[in-house]
Amino acid sequence: MSDKQNKLWGGRFSESVDQFVQEFTASVSFDQRMYAQDIRGSIAHATMLAEVGVLTNAERDAIIDGLGAIKQDIEQGNFEWSVALEDVHMNIEARLTDRIGITGKKLHTGRSRNDQVATDIRLWLRDHIDLIDAELLRLMQGLLGLAEREAATIMPGFTHLQTAQPVTFGHHLLAWFEMLRRDRERLADCRRRVNRMPLGSAALAGTTYPINRERTRELLGFDEVCYNSLDGVSDRDFAIEFCALAALCMTHLSRMSEELVLWTSAQFQFINLPDRFCTGSSIMPQKKNPDVPELVRGKTGRVNGHLIALLTLMKSQPLAYNKDNQEDKEPLFDAVDTLHGSLRAFADMVPALEPNREVMREAARRGFATATDLADYLVRKGIAFRDAHEIVGKAVAYGVAEKKDLSDMSITELRTFSDQIDEDVFDVLTLEGSVSARNHIGGTAPEQVRDAVARARGQL
């Protein structure tokens, strides 16, 4: 059989497609990963066609049995993918016709590759959103467990990467949790728009066959159909939206990674990463490199690039379908794979973090972390905040010169800056007093951290 005749659309053409063009335009090398969704969509389509009388029950059964056998062949590695057949859809349809004869050619009645691929990609993305959500949930649960264990572990909080105020490690981890909570909300919101069915839009205008789109929608588990056939085959907003949320989630993981890289360094030594998440150096035997956080930080750039690629892909396309849209899959597939893999790595790694509690506490003692507490103390003594701010600034300048933290100064030294300072000042200058004083919703007090963990578990 000639290449022209072998094409399922070759009737109009008088010569074969150029060999290079055939390879250049084929997508089967990457879209074959949607085989399960393609077969699922075809089974639902055949079921519906039989119900409306376009296929007989015998034809439907032959198609469904044939598709089931093809799925088994693919999963067992016994399916030969052909570039000449361009894509996953035509490869499966051609094999189906080989298996069951002319009945296989009836499967495509009432649909087009345009609405078929649009349906497949939504089914595929829906499946993978659910897998990503499971890893995201696992990471969030791991964070809550670690935050609960470290609710009272004191560390320095930073602004401008300079010591600002003491916080608890558990409180810091809950900040990570809040980032991921928003990511999970966005993921669920995106899933709702992914879960709309284009099938039945056909090439662009619908079909003359008496199809029942609501029945197909029900069979495939979509929430609703796409209500305009032109938009149904050409919309890729859902892929762009996913890449946008993936880029933002990866940005959050990258920020976490940056802190982990800093905290594991010899200069910080706040935490230890288990060896299984690190590698060594080929030349420096002492090295233990935090490769997982570094790699996640690096992979963020590729997901950001996929978002820009899809936005650029769609920005000048007229309605309806264009071949440009073949370029939607590789960026989307890689964004899904990268986000899923990064979340899995973090979900495995985060519960295994080992904080160096004494190192963290000692770091919080440096940098005058309780200076704001002293200012608040003076305000409670009746001094205006701006005046209190100036008084404490002078005390800090003295501490810098004398290499003394505020909590290390004697009452005599402190009273040189204000006669309102009494012995009870040391209750607020301790690290424990500082964090415990911030005992309100969203505060760093250990009691609030534990309450926040319990509240978050209830929400999950």
Task: Assign 3 a pLDDT band (cuts: 50, 70, 90).
Answer: very low
Active site residue 16: no
pLDDT of residue 119 exceeding 60, the answer is yes
Percent of the chain past pLDDT 70, that is, above it, reads: 97
Percent of the chain past pLDDT 90, that is, above it, reads: 88
Residues of the chain with CATH 1.10.40.30: 367-459
Query: Rounded to an integer, what distance in angstroms lies between the CA atom of residue 336 and that of residue 93?
Result: 27
Query: Rounded to an integer, what distance in angstroms lies between the CA atom of residue 305 and that of residue 310?
Result: 9
Q: CA gyration radius for the chain? A: 31
pLDDT tens-digit map of 158-215: 999 999 999 999 999 999 999 999 999 999 999 999 999 999 999 999 999 999 999 9
Q: What is the CATH number of domain 367-459?
A: 1.10.40.30
Query: Rounded to an integer, what distance in angstroms lies between the CA atom of residue 113 and that of residue 416?
Result: 83
Task: Assign 12 a pLDDT band (cuts: 50, 70, 90).
Answer: low
pLDDT of residue 460 exceeding 50, the answer is yes
**Choice among 39-53, 60-74, 421-435 with the minimum mean pLDDT:** 421-435
pLDDT of residue 5 exceeding 60, the answer is no
Q: Are 119 and 199 in contact (CB under 8 A)?
A: yes
- Amino acid letter at 170? G
Q: SS3 for 272?
A: strand
- Check residue 318 and give its pLDDT: 97
Element (H, E) at 159: strand 154-159
Question: What are the backbone dihedrals phi and psi of residue 121, each rounded to the nearest 5 degrees, phi first?
Answer: -70, -30
Active site residue 2: no
pLDDT of residue 108 exceeding 60, the answer is yes
How many other C-beta atoms can be found within 10 angstroms of the C-beta atom of residue 227?
10
**Choice among 59-68, 328-337, 351-360, 404-413 with the minimum mean pLDDT:** 404-413
- Check residue 8 and give its pLDDT: 62
Domain 114-361: state its class: mainly alpha
Mean pLDDT of 283-297: 92
Residues of the chain with CATH 1.10.275.10: 17-109
Which residues, 6+ apart, have CB-to-CB distance to 419 below 8 Å? Answer: none
Q: Are 429 and 407 in contact (CB under 8 A)?
A: yes
Q: What is the CATH number of domain 17-109?
A: 1.10.275.10
Mean pLDDT of 288-310: 97
Query: Rounded to an integer, what distance in angstroms lies between the CA atom of residue 344 and that of residue 340?
Result: 6
Catalytic residue among 2, 14, 160, 282: 160
Q: How far is CA 324 from CA 33, 74, 315, in A?
A: 19, 28, 11
- Check residue 21 and give its pLDDT: 87
Element (H, E) at 166: strand 162-168
Task: Assign 4 a pLDDT band (cuts: 50, 70, 90).
Answer: very low
How many other C-beta atoms can be found within 10 angstroms of the C-beta atom of residue 96?
22
pLDDT tens-digit map of 361-373: 999 988 888 999 9
Catalytic residue among 171, 252, 257, 281: 281
